[in-house]
Chain A
Amino acid sequence: MDNKKIKSIIESLLFIWGEPLGLKDISDILEMEEIEVEKILNDMIEDFDHNDRGLKIVRIKNNYQLCTRPEHDKWISKLSNQNKTKSLSNAALETLSIIAYKQPITRSEMEAIRGVRCDKAVQTLLDRGLVEERGRLEKLGRPIIYGTTVEFLRYFGLEDLNDLPPIQDLEIEDDGLESMEE
């Protein structure tokens, strides 16, 4: 099979599956090495972007999924009268940011940073499937610890957690603290 044929098969697979499809699954179906398939998929992502196709392939962890281009929303939304899902509140977003960078983290640690209770925000995030319980901390009270989900990556269009905006840039400011400590 030449690459062209393989690409066209993968495109069909992604279309039918709809949900994120694992690299391993695709490789198993094609009876090919994962490393080969990954190369072809990376090629496809570029092809789709380069040729301004109506669809694009996104990668979430080791999964691939077809979706529409955000710039086409103007037209696609005319097909549907339904309201979109509500955006997250500022409280939920603040809480989610803390969880994303500090996971696994307990609720009281989030509350220490935000200075307000976070139970409602955490519940919203759990309901939306953006965070999940990761077990309990073996210390007094055995508090639940939380982390982000794959759905979190998909929701914000991130490939993995390394795609989050770098927080180091903000840490430079810590230098200012040292002068205060003296």
Chain B
Amino acid sequence: MTQALAFLYNPHRFMAFSAWAAPLFGALALALAAAGLWLGFTAPEDYQQGDTVRIMFIHVPAAWLGLFVYVCLGGASFLSLVFRQALADAAARAAAPIGAVFTALALATGSLWGKPMWGAWWVWDARLTSVLVLFLFYLAYMALRASIDDEAKGARAAAILALVGLINVPVVHWSVEWWNTLHQGRTVFAAGGSRAATVFLVPLLLMSLSYMSAFGALWLVRIRGEVWRRRAAAAEARLAR
């Protein structure tokens, strides 16, 4: 793991690796989504949720990714802050908009499922509220970076904010156990094994892998963009001398 990270610290190696890895992840995401959607729309209706169970195939992966991307953002911020790794800072900056979109999708699709099932678009439930806080951390991270003209100072301030936001990650994950919530408890990773029927579990896992691959592709592409942006800034500085 450390060797893999050390390999990717080098921008030249990273650019060579990401040039073939990003399209590969993208193609994998599309193939997995095609399989997941097919199985999702051939699955029977749930005996309680009816057809709205199909929203779960995109809601749950978006929620998982919203959380996972934040862990990546926090990890990259830590490497950037402690080891002053420029590529880690680029990775943190690149992860934020992707994580924000996944979290917004989790909130939106959850709301669209909640209205017919709970009779409400929104409730101030511990899980929903902690995911909203997660979304606000993403927005605050991006706003903070954008608001400080000195890029190095902005990166440091945003990295500290990202690390503070990591406190919210276990709160999101265990909120359904720590508090009495309307949101259902853990289903797929429940103690004693998944409580979801295989006919729903398989498309859910395929869609989750698809979202994960899509994140891999998008993250690599955005980090590449960040590397190019910094190279442009360096060339501009050379020309200004």
A and B: bona fide binding partners: no
Interface of A toward B, CB cutoff 8 Å: none
Interface of B toward A, CB cutoff 8 Å: none
